[in-house]
Amino acid sequence: MEDLAPKIIFWVFAALMLGSALIVVAGKNLVRSAFALLATFFSVAAFYVMLGADFLAGAQVLVYVGGILTLILFGVMLTNRIYSLELNTPRFQVVPGALVSAAIFMILVTVVRVTPWKQASIVEEGPTTARIGQALMNQYVLPFEVASVLLLIALLGAAMLVRRRTDL
Amino acid sequence: MDRLDAVSSLKYFVPELVLVLTLIGVLLCDLISKNRAPMERRLLIVLPSLFGLLVALFFSVSIYFSASGPDPSDAQALFSNMVAFDGFGSLLRILFIFTAIIILLFTIESRELRSVHHGELLVLLLTVTVALIWMANSINLLMIYLALETVSVASYIMVGYLKTDRLSNEASLKYILFGAVSTGTMLFGLSLLYGLTGSLDLYEIRAALMSEQVVASSGPALMVIIVLVLAGIGFKTATVPFHFWCPDVYTGAPTPVTAFLSVGPKVAGFAVLVRFFYGGMASSTGEQTWTMVGSVDWQTILMGISIITMTLGNIAALLQTNLKRLFAYSSIAHAGYIMMGAVALSDRGIKAMLAYVVVYLFMNLGAFLVIIVVHNNTGSFDIKDYAGIWRRSPMLTIVMGIFLFSLMGIPPFAGFLAKWYVFAAVIQAGLVWLAVIGVLNSAIGAFYYVKILKTMFMEGSDTAEPSSKLELHPLYAVLLFVLVVPNIVGLLLWGYLDRVTEYSHKLLDVM
């Protein structure tokens, strides 16, 4: 019985994630898609919790649900006549597309099943924040700094793109 | 090989630090100079950028020579095995900084960029330069991804820099869409590789792939990983089938940016290819050849990509009427030639790739400079508008002729040397027919290069003033000279280039 509970939780969240992701992609209403994305992000956070990655789960909720998604919703709702907007998503080449997707899916499933994946040793459960902080300041200090350059340049590019031509 | 921590790594990291400081400094200079006269403001951003790049170039050259000698024990892994410090990376570092200096000078008098403020463009250029260096030196999957993403994001903005130009916007958008998909694909492949080997370090990955248990049953997974990772690398190097963005982006971007994209990210992409496959998926036999690790024959995959890339690039280039588009396909074809070096699985192949990119830098940037000069005068990129250029500026025609003959690979010029290196490497590896395909492709390539030259000699019928001289800015004249001389004396520098590549290719086997 003890093994059963995590499995049920896993499948519930997996179903939630896939179902909501499908609505995001196929939905014709932009607001509905944005709210479905919320469920997707939450389900991913749930997986992080199940893997014992507490900090990652928190960051996922704060950054994606709290930050990015709220921004998307703001953008969507501030747009004029958003509720009457019908998303125009024409479908091309349905049959070939479905065949290719199915083939890729089969290949990936086969690969996942036959490959001897590296098993990580079971780590002690507990707060991961301190360990992440130490890794960022020691082993991963260069990627950490490179990421800051990347963010600086993304900020600069965003500012440049939204700026009016007159106030150069 | 030593594995250095962050503090003791810093002394090997001076050029990169200089570049990052410069880019922050230029950003600040741009902000504080806001109320000054345009010309003064221009100087306040161009001069610090140029100064920073020159200082970085000085340090990279001195590092290259002080780490001198053929002793591979100089190689270091910096920042806890994040980036390598070796001859290969040291040479490419010089190459990237030199390219950035040339491109910086290209932007100054370009007609397309005349009406826009250059501040952000130079900051972006400096960022891409330092990220290219990181990309070419990464020996860790996380660093490869981060450096590649930094290059991509900055390139998207540079391509769309002409905000009021519809083609530039379209190019930027297409670049982002293709880039996001291919980077995501590559990231998925890298995650599978991590799952298979349990490590992000390329050399630990190689060790894991060599264990018998993994070799026996990881074939399908490794195959999927290699295909997915090649999507990311192929996007950067513009090799088939990940080249679709190339013609539109090259046409829409401001020409100096196009010139930069055709050299910088492409060369860095090949550096990642070499680091990834020769660092993580092959081991040196000690006799100047390499054997593949794991159960997937990636040599054949690369060979297929190389053949399709050069053939498709050359044939599609035949049909183009816009010169920037033609050079997009020409650069795709050249990616195919460079890839041949990686197929050879030998030290000689890596040397050939290095020699090719050094020569390619000079001939391709030179050709793009001629395009910029002509566009400054005529405002057109169409080949038909090149009619009568011979009458208007014989010097420019001769210089363009030298670049084009070099791109063709005709003997007295440096391009021949590059091609000779690559073909010799694959012949030595026993792949004679691959070299034959390469030679046939060079022949196809000659058609469209000669077509440009022929048009320049033709009489310009519909030009209003056929006898008016083309204006050549003194700065561009100096740059043309700098770029054309290595193409002419290429064969004399043969021995020198050989020594440089001999030292520079010694990188990966010791680690």
Tell me the pLDDT tens digit for each residue of B136-176.
999 999 999 999 999 999 999 999 888 888 889 999 999 99
CA closest to B158 among chain A residues: A157
Number of domains within chain B: 1
Query: Which positions in chain A touch B156 (Cβ < 8 Å)?
Result: 157
Q: Does position B370 have pLDDT exceeding 90, yes or no? A: yes
CA angle A38, A41, A44 (to 5 degrees): 150
Give pLDDT, residue A167. 47
Does residue B304 belong to any structural domain of this protein?
yes
Band the pLDDT of A50: cuts 50, 70, 90.
Answer: confident
What are the pLDDT digits (tens) for B67-98? 655 444 567 788 888 888 888 888 899 999 99
Residues 18-77 of A with CB under 8 A from B: none
Is the minimum CB–CB distance between A122 and chain B shorter than 8 Å? Answer: no
DSSP A64-109: IIIIIIHHHHHHHHHSTT-TTPPP------HHHHHHHHHHHHHHHH
The stretch B209-230 carries a mean pLDDT of: 83
Note the pLDDT of residue B129.
95
State the pLDDT confidence band at A81, using cuts at 50, 70 and 90: low
The average pLDDT across B290-297 equals 81
Do residue A153 and residue B149 have CB atoms under 8 angstroms apart? Answer: no
Which one-letter DSSP state was computed for residue B279?
I
Q: Do A142 and B79 make contact, defined as CB atoms within 8 angstroms?
A: yes
In-domain check, residue B216:
yes
Top residue of B3, B42, B156, B157 to mutate, by most chain A CBs within 10 Å, is B157
Element housing B2 (H / E):
strand B2-3
Strand partners, B290: B284
Put simply, the answer to whether B27 touches A156 (Cβ < 8 Å) is yes
Of the candidates A115, A140, A152, the beta carbon closest to that of B196 is on: A115
Across the range B106-125, mean pLDDT stands at 87
Cβ within 8 Å, pair A165-B163: yes
Domain encompassing residue B15: 2-504
Q: Under a CB-based contact definition with an 8 Å cutoff, are residues A46 and A61 in contact?
A: no
pLDDT (mean) for B21-40 = 87
- Please report the pLDDT score of residue B47 as a whole number: 92
B334 falls within a domain: yes
Query: Does B508 score more than 60 pLDDT?
Result: no
Higher pLDDT, B327 or A79: B327
CB contact under 8 A, B146 and A143: yes
Half-sphere exposure in the Cβ direction for A154 (13 Å, CA): 12
- For the segment B425-453, what is each residue's pLDDT rounded down to a tens digit? 999 988 899 999 999 999 998 989 998 88
- Confirm whether B509 is domain-assigned: no
Is residue B447 situated within a structural domain? yes
Buried/exposed A25-45: b ≥16 CB within 10 Å, e otherwise = eebebbeebbbbbbbbbbbbb
What residues of chain A lie within 8 A of the CB of B120, using their CB?
Answer: 156-157, 160
Average pLDDT of the residues in B239-249 = 90
pLDDT above 90: percentage of residues in chain B: 48
| Interface contact flag, A146 B147, Cβ < 8 Å | yes
Whether residues B221 and A142 touch (CB distance < 8 A) is answered with no
Residue B510's pLDDT is: 47
Is residue B510 one of the residues assigned to a domain?
no
Q: How far is A106 from chain B (nearest CA, A)?
A: 12
Tokens describing residue B26: 């230029």
Q: What is the pLDDT of residues A137-160, one digit of tens each?
A: 888 999 999 999 999 999 998 888
φ/ψ of A125, rounded to 5, equals: -80, 155
Optimal mutation site among A109, A151, A153, interface B, most CBs of chain B within 10 A: A153
Q: What are phi and psi of B291, to 5 degrees?
A: -120, 150
pLDDT at B467: 59
